[in-house]
Amino acid sequence: MSSLIKIAVDAMGGDNSPDKIINGIIHHFTNNENVFYTIFGDEKKIEYCLNNKINANNYKIINTLNKVSSEDSPLEAAKRGKDTSMWLAIESVKKRECDIVISAGNTGALLVISKLNLKMIDNIDKPALSALWPNKKGMSVVLDLGANIECNSKNLIDFSVMGASLYKSLYPQEIPNVALLNIGSEELKGNETIKETYKILNEKKSDDYNFAGYVEGNELMNGKVNVIVSDGFTGNVALKTAEGTANFITEELKNALDGSLISKISSLLNISNLKKFKKRLDPRLYNGAIFIGLDSPVVKSHGGTDYIGFSNSLDVCCRIIKGNLIEKIKKNI
């Protein structure tokens, strides 16, 4: 088992769990037999969903009937959480029984319980919530997406290093371009914190990333930068705006396809391109936010995703462990 990637799975978090979680594991296992899943949750429900569809040597179930609900506040979840599937999954990583933990449950509770159980990496003051976004040339890492509303220049510099390390873990052959999300591209634009961060990063030399200055909101998807850094307030607004825009475009595209006879004929002529476009906007392909800065990686799957989205989050877990994310951060920080 030592050569297997060991993933702790909270099977009870998110919509339609544990069904979608287990179906996600089954789907993931079809192409990833070098993984061992420690599954925390209701054993009877989990066994029923598994139905012997993955090798018995690649999983074990920790019977856990209590769970963190979506309605729980982070404080409530932490107070009563020591026998929940989320708490025990995180604790298994703390005890080094597993390499990484994933949950589709309550985001606030996951962040708080993770911080209570896991230590910070030395010299990092705050952890950050990061995620993958599509761009014209591939993918970008964006952080922070809401874990820290207020940040100083030290935090933003740490986020830059952590984001670049995450990108290198996922895409080891590439050198990322790091940029600060700002209201303009000129050095004089922005508040004092972001200008101070710019100055320090501009003078700081690194073999692991290139500092590309500022990036504006309308340039996030052009592919010129691979790591986009901001405080949690700004990053969360950018995330929700991007999600809303993608949903709007998808809905309008669907309405157009269901419209007049002319539009239907036109869509049939362009069906291949339309399918490619729709796939690019499929949020399941980019599912899996990463809570980084702690001494073990924590992955948050979207609570409303389906089993395909959860399977993609499991794939992110594997790539993080194969890419030695934590060691990269420790080295670069």
Cα–Cα distance for residue pair 53/90, rounded to 1 Å: 25
User: Pick from 160, 188, 190, 191: which is nearest to 176 by CA?
Assistant: 160
3-state secondary structure of 127: coil
pTM, two decimals, is: 0.85
* pLDDT on residue 92: 96
pLDDT number for residue 321: 94
Answer whether 86's CB lies under 8 Å from 68's CB: yes
pLDDT of 260? 62
What is the reported pLDDT for 233? 92
Instruction: Report the distance separating Cα 241 and Cα 68, nearest Å.
Output: 28
Determine the pLDDT at residue 29: 95
What pLDDT does residue 218 have?
Answer: 86
DSSP 8-state assignment for residue 84: B
Kindly report the backbone phi and psi dihedral angles of residue 16, in degrees, each rounded to the nearest multiple of 5, phi listed first. 55, 35
Looking at residue 15, its pLDDT comes to 87
pLDDT of residue 242: 78
Is there a single domain that holds both residue 6 and residue 114? Answer: yes
> What per-residue confidence (pLDDT) applies to 151?
93
Low-confidence ranges of the chain (pLDDT < 50): 1
Residues 265, 324: one domain? no
DSSP, res 218: G
- Looking at the structure, do residues 330 and 271 belong to the same domain, yes or no? no
CATH number, domain with residue 34: 3.40.718.10
- Based on the structure, what is the number of domains in the chain? 2
Q: Are 176 and 247 in the same domain?
A: yes
- In this prediction, residue 317 carries a pLDDT of 94
Cα separation, 4 vs 21, whole angstroms = 20
Q: What is the pLDDT of residue 258?
A: 66
Residues 209 and 324 in one domain: no
pLDDT at residue 286, rounded to an integer: 65
Angle formed by the axes of helices 107-117 and 85-94, nearest 10°: 30
Q: Which domain holds residue 22?
A: 1-124+293-333
The per-residue pLDDT for 277 is 54
- Which pLDDT value is given to residue 39? 97
Same-domain pairing of 141 and 281: yes
